[in-house]
């Protein structure tokens, strides 16, 4: 399936691309376009995320980022993924009270993505290791230690 989002990916768009490839659509093809082009590409058959007019917007009516919405829709019973969704939300909506301690670190790391990757496709590929590692660490933690 084709998925479309705004170019210049950072926190939520990178995390959402990882989530899609890891748990929703392993063969996903990502298209990165200007914000005003997302709706057009979506109308041509792609699934939009983290953009104006996207099926999974940046901030939906329940105040979820696209990562949270997709995680809840496809893996709602996965506690490690729910915890990762809280981290991503806190990093993406950095000014909110209630961010996790990990959120600030994820936001800082994400700011460096364009500094070490040549384009958004390479960011998705290289950031996969980061999200795999974070997810694995969260899966190992006991629920009583959750934040």
pTM of the predicted model as reported, rounded to 2 decimal places: 0.92
pLDDT of residue 143: 61
What residue spans define the domains of the chain?
Answer: 2-145
- Residue pLDDT, tens place only, 98-130: 678 899 999 999 999 999 999 999 999 999 999
* DSSP 3-state of 104: helix
Q: How far apart are CA 30 and CA 47, in angstroms?
A: 10
Q: Are 60 and 69 in contact (CB under 8 A)?
A: yes
Range with lowest mean pLDDT among 49-63, 64-78, 95-109, 121-135: 95-109
Instruction: Express as a percent the part of the chain with pLDDT over 70.
Output: 94
Spacing of C-alpha 85 from chain mean position:
8
Confidence at 97, pLDDT banded by 50, 70, 90: low
Per the CB < 8 A criterion, the answer to whether 134 and 124 are in contact is: no
């Amino acid at each position: 399936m084709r998925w479309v989002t705004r170019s210049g990916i950072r926190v939520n768009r990178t995390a959402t691309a990882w989530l899609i490839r890891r748990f929703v659509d392993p063969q996903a093809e990502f298209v990165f376009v200007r914000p005003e082009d997302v709706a057009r590409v979506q109308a041509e058959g792609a699934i939009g995320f983290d953009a104006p007019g996207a099926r999974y917007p940046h901030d939906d009516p329940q105040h979820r980022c696209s990562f949270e919405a997709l995680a809840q829709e496809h893996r709602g019973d996965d506690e490690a993924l729910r915890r990762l969704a809280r981290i991503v939300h806190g990093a993406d909506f950095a000014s909110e009270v209630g961010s996790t301690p990990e959120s600030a670190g994820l936001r800082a790391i994400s700011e460096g993505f364009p500094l070490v990757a040549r384009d958004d496709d390479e960011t998705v590929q290289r950031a996969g290791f980061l999200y795999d590692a974070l997810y694995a660490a969260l899966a190992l933690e006991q629920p009583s230690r959750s934040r």
